[in-house]
Amino acid sequence: MAEVGIQVKDLNFSWPSGEAAIKSCSLAVPKGEFWMLLGTNGSGKSTLLRLLAGLLQPQSGEVGVLPPVGFVFQNPDHQLVMPTVGADVAFGLVEEKLPPAMVRARVEEALGAVNLLQLQLRPIYALSGGQKQRVAIAGAIARHCEILLLDEPTALLDPDSQLDLVAGVQRLVKSRGITALWVTHRLDELNYCDGAFLLDKGSLVDWGEPQRLKQRLMKVNDESP
């Protein structure tokens, strides 16, 4: 059997109110593949991603992810904390207590991987939305993340930067053997992934070939008023 990068078995999560957000979810993403997580607003996509990242604790079930795990949020302004591009990527390495030369090498390698090496000294505020998301991804690359979890990273981007970002992540996954799970509700992004999961009211209702899921969801969208 192929090696697994992300695995979830019979996962259940309820909010303190008692509202069940994730119901008996089981899924697996093969190592080195790029999968997407689809579902309408409120279906539990962000909750599932936060459970995978260990930011929330399930009531029952198992989560298995190969460490280290990188997380990219919908709004990069909630994630980027340092004044410049290079400083932000380096900040993510603080815990590893690496020698300064090693930090510099990791930052340059990661910024090169997202095509931002020439913007190392640029202030964060002077970046476009797509560039900010690439800085967040560089942070994960610098930490040598095995797993990349991205929660609607293109939600705030224009259509051109949206497709640039998804193509860039696809390239990184393939060239570095990273395993990625990308949350989206934009069906055109499905053209870039190896497979997709469909979440509905906290339950996993379908998964597999992206084009089949795309067809299924386009039909649903056509039928809705």
Residue placing its CB nearer to Mg ion in the complex, 46 or 170: 46
- From CA 133, how far away is CA 156, in angstroms rounded? 10
Residue placing its CB nearer to ligand ADP in the complex, 43 or 120: 43
Structure tokens at 186: 């934009």
Q: Report the partner that residue 83 touches, choosing among ligand ADP, Mg ion, none (CB closer than 5 to 8 A by kind).
A: none
Residue placing its CB nearer to ligand ADP in the complex, 39 or 210: 39
Query: Which DSSP symbol is given to 180?
Result: E
Residue 20 in contact with residue 12, Cβ under 8 Å?
Answer: yes
Residue 181 in contact with residue 25, Cβ under 8 Å?
Answer: no
Task: Kindly state the smallest distance separating residue 217's Cβ from ligand ADP, in Å.
Answer: 14
Size of the site for Mg ion (CB under 5 A): 2
Per CB under 5 A, the list member of 22, 33, 46, 210 interacting with Mg ion is 46
Q: Interface with ligand ADP includes 153 (CB under 6 A)?
A: no
Residue placing its CB nearer to Mg ion in the complex, 45 or 134: 45
Residue 106: helix, strand or coil by DSSP? Answer: helix
Q: Interface with ligand ADP includes 181 (CB under 6 A)?
A: no
Write the burial class of residue 94 (CB in 10 Å: 0-12 exposed, 13-18 middle, 19+ buried). exposed
**Residues near 7 by Cβ (< 8 Å), separated by ≥ 6?**
27, 28, 29, 62, 63, 64, 65
Name which of 141, 90, 149 is nearest 120 in CA terms. 90
Task: Kindly state the smallest distance separating residue 6's Cβ from ligand ADP, in Å.
Answer: 17
Task: Kindly state the smallest distance separating residue 202's Cβ from ligand ADP, in Å.
Answer: 7
Per CB under 6 A, the list member of 8, 47, 85, 88 interacting with ligand ADP is 47
Q: Report the partner that residue 125 touches, choosing among Mg ion, ligand ADP, none (CB closer than 5 to 8 A by kind).
A: none
Quick one: CA dihedral 56, 60, 61, 66, positive or negative? positive
Q: Report the partner that residue 68 touches, choosing among Mg ion, ligand ADP, none (CB closer than 5 to 8 A by kind).
A: none
Q: Which positions touch ligand ADP (CB under 6 A)?
A: 15, 21, 39, 41-47
Q: Which positions touch Mg ion (CB under 5 A)?
A: 45-46
